[in-house]
A and B are shown apart, each in its own frame.
Chain A
Amino acid sequence: MTGLNKKLAAALLIPIVMLALLTLYKAVKIHSGRKVIIPITGFDPRDLLSGHYLTYRLALDTDVCTGHDRNSGDLFLCLSLDKNNAVIGSYAMEYLNEDWRERCDAVLKGTCRRGSFVAGIERFYIPENESQSLDRAVRQGKGSLVVSIDNKGNASIKELFIDGKPWREALPEK
């Protein structure tokens, strides 16, 4: 029996450490940014269910992508929030100026794809047995997304709300 292969041990540890760092980075992002509640809507008549996740569109200013093509880079939305951190208004900004805090409560970074504003938070993993109820609720305009947004406008999903409550509490017990 030879000794432990240290190089192999290091090669095995690299993916584990990188996965741990990825998890930590994502978890910190979720808990460190500003909490914002964004209403969501469906792509009716398209199916909102795609595999095990719910796909939707952020119900923000629908005209922000007018005149933008997908190659024009990032777009920033200046968000106005109420006292509960829910979005009450938004307008598009081409650049993220340093003085954005004077005009906006938060900014959301995204791009325009096929005429819609996309911030990379347009899908939410759901259990299969709840998919139909969640699909219905979102179609009825009851859904909103609780996100955490950092100073550069990057958003991470914290929770899906139905009727202002976390989806697990809002849906009837089965």
Chain B
Amino acid sequence: MKKSILKSLENWTTAGIITDAQRESIISFEESRSGSIRTRWALYGFLILGVSVVGIGIISLIAANWDDIPGSVKIFIDFMILLGIAFMVLRLDRREKDILYDTALSFFALLVLASIGLISQVLHTGGELYLALFFWTAVIFPLSLFSKKGFLPYLWTAGFLGALMAWSVSDTSWWQRIGDDDEAIIALGLMLPFLCLFSSSLMERVVLLRLHSQAFIRWALAGFLGLVFFTDVYLSQDEVDFSVKVLAPAGLFILCYMAALFSETKKTLKEKVTVLVMIIIAILPYIPLILSGDTDASRTGNEFYGALYSIIMLLFAGALFIIRDNRRLFNAMTFLAGIRFLVVYFQVFEDLASTGFGLIFSGMIIIGVSLLWFRQRDRLELLFRKITGAESHDGTE
């Protein structure tokens, strides 16, 4: 149980708002609840891990031994297994056992993917990976709406993004018209966080798609970190050059996301403005490229600009998570900003890393900065709360 809640309970007891007995029963209720949630999530995690391993095992068995059984028999057996698991899912739904139900549901979805592979092997269809993944995401989408936990929506969003990536690197992709293969991948990478944010924003409005929206927002966070890392490298190095066309898909989804964000009613104006500022900062390093109209050949890399960009973006992300009352992610962002700060130190004193004394000194700096961050993170949080005007709710999500 959080220290802040315990302190609040202490204060309420002293002020006579609640009695000692009530305080004790609140503490005992919260402790039993958080313990049970932890146990359930651990069990759920292991079950899903087991299911994933079984799913991969089935795919491997099909791949390794497919010639021992005639194709028609294999497809028949596969359909029988699918029907059996479907029946099991229906039975578990009636018993309302969330974890087992979701595990069976995820297993069924993975088996559908394995079945696509099996049919492709038996009939030598030889299609592209992206076609198989798009087909899979299309047929299991209705099923993902019945997930009681988040795993299947996560699997679905991963499948969708995987299909998009597989299509992007295929010869049939429209991206290939943007430039060469590298430019197509850069265009996709820059676009992904904004596509995920836009998808999440749209799905958030539909109750049935709430879990999908949460999954997309987490992919957006991963994409954001990728974007920060890429832009850091772009600003630091001279060699990273690409055509302005690479920015077009990201630009399109930024506009879509902005329209979706400002039409939302649940988010506060403070949150919206913070996101807007972050997007403006995200675009800033690419302005010379946009103005040049093609490739910015005159650009010179400067590693301090890269570091400054990363640290500012990570601190803004920290501010956003404080506004959203998510301490865990706030801590993660400030920690990453601290790591980037350390990288600056090594960039400045790179010679130190080549001598014994230099390494000892650098190690002590790392320990010192880590301890400083660990001890001062609560103060840092308070400072961010003051700056952003966010209220303290002691929430973790």
Interface residues of A (CB under 8 A from B): 1-2, 4-5, 7-16, 18-20, 22-23, 26-27, 30, 51-52, 70-71, 111, 113, 120-128, 130, 156-157
Q: Which A residues are in CB contact (< 8 Å) with B140?
A: 15
Q: Judge whether A1 and B94 touch: CB under 8 Å.
A: yes
A12 to B89, CA, bound (A): 9
Q: Judge whether A10 and B142 touch: CB under 8 Å.
A: yes
Given A70-B171, A123-B126, check contact A16 B79 (CB 8 Å).
yes
For A51, the closest partner residue in chain B by CB is B63
Q: Which A residues are in CB contact (< 8 Å) with B67?
A: 126-127, 130
Q: Which B residues are in CB contact (< 8 Å) with A26?
A: 119, 123, 125
Q: Judge whether A113 and B142 touch: CB under 8 Å.
A: no
Interface residues of B (CB under 8 A from A): 63-64, 66-67, 75, 79, 82-83, 86, 89-90, 93-95, 108-109, 112, 115-116, 119, 121-127, 135, 139-140, 142-143, 145-146, 171, 176-177
- A19 in complex: contacting residue of B64, B89, B112, B124, CB < 8 Å: B112
A20 to B116, CA, bound (A): 10
Given A11-B142, A14-B143, check contact A127 B66 (CB 8 Å).
yes
For A123, the closest partner residue in chain B by CB is B126
A130 to B127, CA, bound (A): 23
Q: Judge whether B86 and A20 touch: CB under 8 Å.
A: no
A113 to B75, CA, bound (A): 33
Q: Judge whether B176 and A71 touch: CB under 8 Å.
A: yes
Q: A15-B143, A121-B126 are in contact. List 6 more A-B contacts (CB 8 A).
A: A8-B89, A11-B142, A18-B135, A19-B79, A26-B119, A125-B66
A60 to B103, CA, bound (A): 50
Which secondary structure dominates chain A's binding surface? helix
Q: Judge whether B93 and A8 touch: CB under 8 Å.
A: yes
For A124, the closest partner residue in chain B by CB is B124
Q: Judge whether A11 and B143 touch: CB under 8 Å.
A: yes
Q: Judge whether B121 and A125 touch: CB under 8 Å.
A: yes
Q: Which B residues are in CB contact (< 8 Å) with A20?
A: 79
CB distance from A125 to the nearest CB of B (A): 4
Q: Judge whether B116 and A4 touch: CB under 8 Å.
A: no
CB distance from A128 to the nearest CB of B (A): 6
Q: Which A residues are in CB contact (< 8 Å) with B176?
A: 70-71
A-B contact pairs, 27 of them (CB 8 A): A1-B95, A2-B94, A4-B90, A4-B94, A5-B93, A10-B142, A11-B146, A12-B89, A12-B90, A12-B108, A12-B143, A14-B139, A15-B112, A16-B79, A16-B82, A19-B119, A20-B79, A22-B116, A22-B135, A23-B119, A26-B123, A27-B123, A51-B63, A71-B177, A113-B171, A120-B127, A128-B64
Q: Which A residues are in CB contact (< 8 Å) with B135?
A: 18, 22
Q: Judge whether A23 and B94 touch: CB under 8 Å.
A: no
A7 to B142, CA, bound (A): 9
Q: Judge whether A122 and B126 touch: CB under 8 Å.
A: yes
A3 to B104, CA, bound (A): 19
A12 to B84, CA, bound (A): 11
CB distance from B80 to the nearest CB of A (A): 10
- B94 in complex: contacting residue of A5, A19, A51, A52, CB < 8 Å: A5
CB distance from B164 to the nearest CB of A (A): 20
Q: Which A residues are in CB contact (< 8 Å) with B94?
A: 1-2, 4-5
Q: Judge whether B126 and A120 touch: CB under 8 Å.
A: yes
A16 to B76, CA, bound (A): 12
Q: Judge whether B86 and A13 touch: CB under 8 Å.
A: yes
A156 to B90, CA, bound (A): 37
